[in-house]
Amino acid sequence: MTAADLMPATHTIRRWLAFITIGLSALVAGCSEHSPDWNLYDVKGHLPKLSFELQAAGNKTFTEKDLEGKTVLMFFGYASCPDICPTTMAQLSEIVTNLGDDAKDVRIVFVSVDPHRDTPDMLQEYVNAFNPNAIGLTGNTQDIARFAKRYRIAYQIDKPKPDDDPNVYNVTHSQGVYIFDNRGRARLLASDSEDTAAFTADVQKLINETS
């Protein structure tokens, strides 16, 4: 995915909502409906295993190998997101807290689709505000686009107007939390409207199943 593949800038609420709806449809394309065994979407066998090479705080290259043995809750967004991202991060932090002793084997991974503004160190400060064990990752434009495409994430970065501050622009992105088991396999997909108790129950069940 390149900048040319992204939709033109949109400026109305209706178009923005349409874009997000398309993104959400892409997330569940090919996936099963809610399984009777899970509260969330069962995506086992429908999405690829966790695989990436991105940048973390401290000028560190971070890959899926750094998450071996961990259940991963992965979310794509950006640090200056005004609503969905902080709400989702807060929910994920609550879910991890609810897991009690099993929380030590779970990692929240927040991947920024806005690498121009989100430096690795700043991004880590952002996620630390929600959970001290969360991990903030970013990379160059090509790396992020490639990783987003791997998991069917749609996003759009509007270009600043010619005379505006180059750091002020809109970003839209599809919403969804990917849950990978401790072997890096994509297992579940959650929307941004999932019940926290049901979400927690599924993560706990997955941990128990793979421990």
Cβ atoms of 113 and 79 within 8 Å: the answer is no
What does the block give as tokens for 184?
């890096």
pLDDT at 31: 52
What does the block give as tokens for 126?
């952002």
pLDDT at 185: 98
Rounded-to-integer distance, Cα 74 and Cα 62, Å: 14
Rounded-to-integer distance, Cα 108 and Cα 19, Å: 26
- How do residues 20-68 score in pLDDT, each as one tens digit? 444 444 455 445 456 789 999 999 999 999 999 999 999 999 999 999 9
Entry pTM? 0.83
Superfamily of the domain at 35-147+175-210: Glutaredoxin (3.40.30.10)
* Mean pLDDT, residues 173-192: 93
CB-count burial class (<10 Å; 0-12, 13-18, 19+) for 46: middle
